[in-house]
Amino acid sequence: MLNKTNLMIGIAALVFCIVIFMASSSGQNPKDRPHFQHSNLTITRSDGKTFPFSVEVAETQQDQAYGLMFIQSLPENSGMIFPYDPPREIAFWMKNTLIPLDMLFVRPDHTIGRIVANARPQDLTPIPSEEPVSAVIEVNGGVAHKNDLAVGDKVSFPEIP
């Protein structure tokens, strides 16, 4: 039985998916890529080993709808962060994304709550956070495995405006 909270989360996820679909279907192409702010973040494993990343920040809803679409490669140790304030359940897909990506769903306490490895390019299957998150980080496919990143690892990033 659906309770009111689950129903509201479902409606919010559906609305977000519709917005993403409309944005991704509205003639976006590589020439229309927004200008993203840049930031740095660090992931610290439970053993203390750190991994720095340079990321683009998808701040606005339009930036988030565009994400890493049409990118043909990412430099090593780079990616994109999608911040959410307030934290929420979210779902991503890979429409018009040309490279495999690892998705790191970051809880409000800045720990990784879920890792989806090697999300398939061009796949329209929703990839849900499965819990409220304050950010999603996308990096090259295989990075999480290569660096032995795990649920519970800590993500440090500066305050995002």
Query: Over the stretch 38-51, which tens digit does the pLDDT of each residue have?
Result: 999 999 999 999 99
pLDDT for the residue 40: 95
What kind and span of H or E run contains 53? Answer: strand 50-57
Compute the average pLDDT of residues 24-28: 47
Q: How confident is the model at residue 4 (pLDDT cuts 50, 70, 90)?
A: low
Q: Is the pLDDT of residue 73 over 60?
A: yes
Q: Indicate left, alpha or beta for 23 from its phi (over 0: left) and psi (-120 to 50: alpha).
A: alpha
Q: Is the pLDDT of residue 32 over 80?
A: no
Q: Is the pLDDT of residue 61 over 60?
A: yes
Compute the average pLDDT of residues 91-120: 97
> DSSP alpha helices (H): ranges in the chain?
4-24, 61-66, 143-146
Q: Is the pLDDT of residue 25 over 60?
A: no
CATH of 4-156, one of 3.40.50.80, 3.40.50.450, 3.30.200.20, 2.60.120.1140: 2.60.120.1140
How much of the chain is helix, strand and coil, in % rounded to 5?
20, 35, 45
Domain spans in the chain, listed from the N-terminal domain onward: 4-156
Give 80's strand partners.
56, 138
Q: How confident is the model at residue 26 (pLDDT cuts 50, 70, 90)?
A: very low
Question: For the whole prediction, is pTM greater than 0.85?
Answer: no
pLDDT for the residue 2: 53
Compute the average pLDDT of residues 118-144: 97
